[in-house]
Amino acid sequence: MVTDEIFFAWLDGELDPQEAERVAAEVASDDKLTERAKRHSAMQTRLKGSFESLLDAAVPEPLLVAVHTPEPEIIDFAAAQRSREARAWAPLPRWAALAATLAVGIFAGTMVPRATTAPLDVQGGKVYAAAALNEALDTQLASAPGGDIRIGLTFRDQTGTICRSFVQTAASGLACRSGGRWHLRGLFATPEGQAETYRMAGGTNPTLAALIDSTMVGEPLTADQERSAQALAWH
Amino acid sequence: MDRSLTFEHELAAMLPRLRRFAHTLSRNGSDADDLTQAAIERALRSRAQWQPGTRLDSWLFRIMRNLWIDTARSRSRKEKFETPVEELEQLGEDPRDAIEASLELQRVMAAMERLPDEQREVVALILIEGFGYRETAEMLDLPIGTVSSRLVRGRTALLALVGM
């Protein structure tokens, strides 16, 4: 006599070999048990198959963001930060050290984060890509010709984070994924009179090149790898 | 590599399985994603309690299951039987296959939803997630015999519910 518990433990591969053999023989000699085993196996296959589709489905962006969201900042600090941001570019010195030539002056009027179309956005002391720059980083492949903004290289840093260099007429820079956004690690002015050359060459500003060198681990992503990374929301 | 970054990467890699487990416990996709989000947040806050080298999946599933108990079990019966408006999950490249996969998922979720909670969680962990009886017993803090008998009742009821 096979109890329900033993029957299903056998079906689930939970019995030791000797007992499994005994139950297998009993099931084989009993049409009702054989039929029951078939129906339950079929149900489990269907059950697993239905939920399996979720493993291949794209993970919703808010969940990806939640994984990389830093601890909330202390409120007083955040408030102070906001009031400084409202005044101007206070957080800039934080990464200004990266830049030999800082593009703030160049971008006055075009890149200062004032309107919603400004390509930079300052939050919590960090500079993020916004508007057209954000869209180019999100959607443009390095191989694509691109418009005003051209993507140079896409690669991973030592933590596996995706980084992309970009070139615009007046400036070039490097942005890396952080909390579902593009965090600017460096922004450099293009030397006067060389804008078009720089843009066409994919950004050869020596300071940017040095920053890329010190950030990149391994080789730049190929076009195919870049597309895959894009499909995974740049993870 | 920085330990906290390693943790985040492993957590990110677990997202598809966490979502799947959430779907086995929840009545619809949006509840499942809310549950996943809550589990991620709790896992990040409690990351110091996870010991590197031990299984991250069991640890995360346990967090999710406890959250689910806190929220789902306090829900009223009335709400439980309202038909939720469900968005179709995007589950594949071919739209026809994707729609069929999504409808099938909804059918199976509806059947799972009708199981008592204590049967649903063992069915989810053993038949869908593939954990062994012992691992499941440890995760749920239950004797293995209890897990085994709940599994018998759960899968027998489910067979009748999905009409196979």
Does residue B104 sit at the A interface (CB-CB below 8 Å)? yes
Q: Which chain B residues are within 8 Å of A52, Cβ to Cβ?
A: 20
Structure tokens, B121 = 């969680």
In this structure, chain B runs to a length of 164
Q: Do B158 and A43 touch (CB under 8 A)?
A: yes
CB contact under 8 Å between A54 and B152, yes or no, is no
At residue A219, does pLDDT exceed 80? yes
Q: Which residue has the higher pLDDT, A107 or A229?
A: A229
**Given this model, what pLDDT does residue B70 score?**
83
Q: What is the mean pLDDT of residues B145-158?
A: 97
Output A186 or A96, whichever has higher pLDDT: A186
Domains and CATH numbers, chain B: 1-87 (1.10.1740.10), 114-164 (1.10.10.10)
Looking at residue A212, what is its pLDDT?
A: 86
| Beta strands, E only, chain A | 120-123, 126-129, 150-156, 162-167, 171-178, 181-189
Percent of chain A at pLDDT above 90?
27
Which tops the pLDDT comparison, B91 or A225? A225
CA of A78 vs chain B CAs: smallest distance (Å): 20
Residue B141 has pLDDT above 90, yes or no: yes
Residues 6+ apart with CB under 8 A from B116: B154
- The mean pLDDT value of chain A amounts to 75
Q: Residue B93 has what pLDDT?
A: 53
Write out chain B residues lying below 8 Å of A14, CB-based. 132-133
Q: Which of residues 47-86 of B touch A (CB under 8 A)?
A: none
Separation in Å, CA of B84 to nearest CA in chain A: 19
pLDDT at A89 over 70: no
Domain definitions of chain A by residue range: 4-56, 61-231
Q: Amino acid identity, residue B77? A: R
- Cα A33 from Cα A26, distance rounded (Å): 8
Give the separation between CA A92 and CA A111, rounded to whole angstroms. 13
Determine the average pLDDT of the residues in B154-162: 94
What mean pLDDT is predicted for residues A157-162? 89
Cβ distance of B108 and A46 shorter than 8 Å: yes
Task: Read off the pLDDT of residues A105-131 as tens digits, 9 standing for 90 and up.
Answer: 334 334 444 445 677 777 766 778 888
pLDDT for position B2: 60
User: Residue B49 CA to chain centroid, in angstroms?
Assistant: 21
A7 or A124: which leads in pLDDT: A7
Q: Which two tokens stand for residue A132?
A: 């057209």
Reply yes or no on whether the pLDDT at A12 is more than 80. yes
Which of A12, A50, A67 is the closest to B12 by Cβ? A67
Q: Which of B19, B126, B162 sits opposite A43 (nearest CB)?
A: B162
Contact between chains at B104 and A50 (C-beta distance less than 8 A): yes
Residue B162 pLDDT exceeds 70: yes
Chain A residue with minimum CA distance to B98 = A53
Does the pLDDT value for residue A62 go beyond 70?
yes
Summarize pLDDT for B1-44 with one digit per residue, the tens: 466 667 888 899 999 999 999 999 988 888 899 999 999 999 99
**pLDDT reading at A77 higher than 60:** no
List pLDDT tens digits, range A130-151: 888 888 899 888 867 767 788 8
Q: Three-state SS string across A124-185, please?
A: CCEEEECHHHHHHHHHCCCCCCCCCCEEEEEEECCCCCEEEEEECCCEEEEEEEECCEEEEE
Q: Give the one of A53, A59, A64 whose C-beta lies nearest to B91's C-beta.
A: A53
How many Cβ pairs within 8 Å bridge chains A and B? 115
Question: At residue A16, does pLDDT exceed 60?
Answer: yes
pLDDT of B119 over the 90 cut: yes
| Residue A124, token pair as written in the block | 């919590």
pLDDT tens string B33-92: 999 999 999 999 998 888 888 889 999 999 999 999 888 666 544 354 444 444 445 455
